Chains A and B, each alone.
Chain A
């Protein structure tokens, strides 16, 4: 058969964000693929050096729409470490509540995108319908469905009252039932298994060689999770499990992410039952003394890593961000060899790319 080069190009119905993939086909089999990034590069790290620490909270939030709260949490944690501030417990709990709600919404969004790309539109609509519950909670608490703007340096700026707590309890119960139904659908439906089983296998050696983190690594057997290994923001006071699977294909990643969603709902229920009283923030000085700090957090896609170096001023001297998507992207050309074109969409959707995070 002839050789065709299919551009899964900057604009494609498969991708949420622009990414250039040139896939060389021979018949229906993929022989080679080339990856190009940089279509959404906005120079966030340079822009952050021109703005004050307070203004940077909103800039950092807009690196990515799906994991925006985690980015601003890590940033605020770093600056609070530089200022040697101690955030009150209630503020930390509210931060964790929104982190876990964001994890739920990110995994349900990802499941919808995977289902759409393998042609399973009904599961796409059901997953996004259940995601609306989470988005409504976030709109009530923080004022925005996607960009929450809850973190400030020194704590959070919203508080949870009785109305929010009752809404949370009702919604979390409904969400538990629906997510468990989704888990059963994925485990049992034959057409979903036929499209995702034994597709895109990554072995444990590949994971360690490319330094992959997050659900992709946990689905191949690597047991890492920053919330348990290096707890931040009062995660050491809560009780949760970290699911682990060993097959390493797209099906294992799907099951793992839904199991993580169920754990996240469990964490949210613990948070709203054990919410301590007190203030939600402390005032932070505008001028940050000189120093450098490294801070990590567990985003829905893996470990996100921040480095800030400050001189004695109101603007940071250097901000360096390392997002989990970058390493996952590099494993893609290796995964796509000897695969059919139809499986390319399942694999690309199955690794849960967030190109805006990767490009910054």
Chain B
């Protein structure tokens, strides 16, 4: 029976199938909300699934001179790292194995896809891919640091680097969102920079570099990148919810599960609204915003958390 339980946990819930379905649902919600904000109807509910099926059916070619081995390996590494990251994150029903330092492991695994994105631009040699990859690397150096700094506020407040302890601290006192609203907003900005969403989507700006580092990919490789990006969104949002909103529900209950889903939907709505109201920023404006405005505020915020 233990084997069956394990199979169920890994592949069905809260494993593979549940993650994919929720990630595609969040992506549909994002597109529908942005469409409604702009006064359009928006895609039907099966659109992300239809896109995925269509991508699997397309031809898979790469330019002459690209390193075929790495071009096939990089999407697999990104996909695998995001799935492993979701293994450590408690998604409101099952309590996952937790140890000291799994906070850092989770951050590292979530940042792997960005690094693989830059390498993918380098490996498929094309003008647009290289430019997109270079910009993605600049953004990676800046916004991963911001995300780490802002999220560390919660780890500092709970006194340990373990996810289970962060949750226990929020159940004992109040959820961290009430005390650390600035930290929450900064980690949201860091998440937008990590995911390369508007307004920080200069690496894959359609009007300049067509699709950035992924310009030359197609077929099954692009389908894996597509899944990786949406899973990264979902795992990132779940990470934020776990670290800031943990006291609102109980583990292993149906009501807890639904509160978790509701929080996911609300945060995705906030991300879509932010994407809709800003123009895309240039790369030097992004770096200036990060190092001159966001990081100092994050440092001051962490010092303030340390003192109280």
Using a CB–CB cutoff of 8 Å, the interface residues on chain A facing chain B are 4-7, 12-14, 25, 28, 115-123, 125-126, 129, 189, 191-192, 194-195, 340-345
Contact = CB atoms under 8 A, between A and B. Distances in A.
A14 B207 contact: yes
Contacts of A123: 279
Contact of A119 (B34, B128, B207): B207
B127 A118 contact: no
A4 B134 CA distance: 13
B208 A342 contact: yes
Interface stretch (B73-81, B142-150, B196-204, B220-228): B196-204
13 contacts: A4-B127, A4-B131, A14-B208, A115-B279, A118-B279, A119-B205, A119-B279, A120-B278, A125-B39, A189-B279, A191-B279, A195-B280, A195-B282
A239 to B, nearest CB: 34
B281 interface: yes
Contacts of B280: 118-120, 195
B276 interface: yes
A28 B37 CA distance: 33
Interface in B186-234: 198-199, 201-202, 205-208, 210
Of residues B37, B206, B207, B280, which shows the largest number of chain A Cβ atoms within 10 Å of its Cβ?
A: B207
B276 A122 contact: yes
Nearest to B289: A194
Contacts of B281: 191, 194-195
B127 A119 contact: no
B131 to A, nearest CB: 7
Interface string B39-60: 1100000000000000000000
A122 B208 contact: no
B61 interface: no
A118 B37 CA distance: 18
Contacts of B205: 119, 342
Contacts of B278: 120, 191
B283 A344 contact: no
B292 to A, nearest CB: 14
Nearest to B284: A340
Interface string B61-91: 0000000000000000000000000000000
Interface residues of B, number: 28
A119 B210 contact: no
A180 B127 CA distance: 41
A25 B130 CA distance: 12
Interface of B: 34, 37-40, 127-128, 130-131, 198-199, 201-202, 205-208, 210, 276-285
Contacts of A121: 34, 38, 198, 276
B206 A122 contact: no
Nearest to A5: B127
A129 B38 CA distance: 9
A195 B279 contact: yes
B207 A6 contact: no
B38 A342 contact: no
Nearest to A116: B207
A74 to B, nearest CB: 33
A91 to B, nearest CB: 37
Contact of B131 (A6, A125, A189): A6
Contacts of A7: 127
A109 B278 CA distance: 20
B39 A194 contact: no
B39 A126 contact: yes
A119 B282 CA distance: 10
Contacts of A122: 37-38, 276-277
Nearest to A349: B207
Contact of B199 (A13, A191, A342): A191
A43 to B, nearest CB: 31
**Which 9 residue pairs spanning A and B have beta carbons closest together?**
A119-B280, A120-B279, A125-B38, A191-B279, A117-B207, A342-B282, A191-B278, A14-B207, A345-B207
A274 B236 CA distance: 62
B202 A342 contact: yes
Contacts of B285: 194
Given A120-B278, A122-B37, A125-B39, 8 more contacts: A5-B127, A13-B207, A119-B198, A121-B38, A123-B279, A189-B279, A191-B278, A195-B279
B22 to A, nearest CB: 25
Nearest to B40: A125
A123 B285 CA distance: 21
B149 to A, nearest CB: 24
Contacts of B130: 4
Contacts of A129: 39
Contacts of A14: 207-208
Contacts of B38: 121-122, 125-126
Nearest to B39: A129
B162 to A, nearest CB: 39
Nearest to B202: A342
Contacts of B283: 28, 340, 342
A116 to B, nearest CB: 7
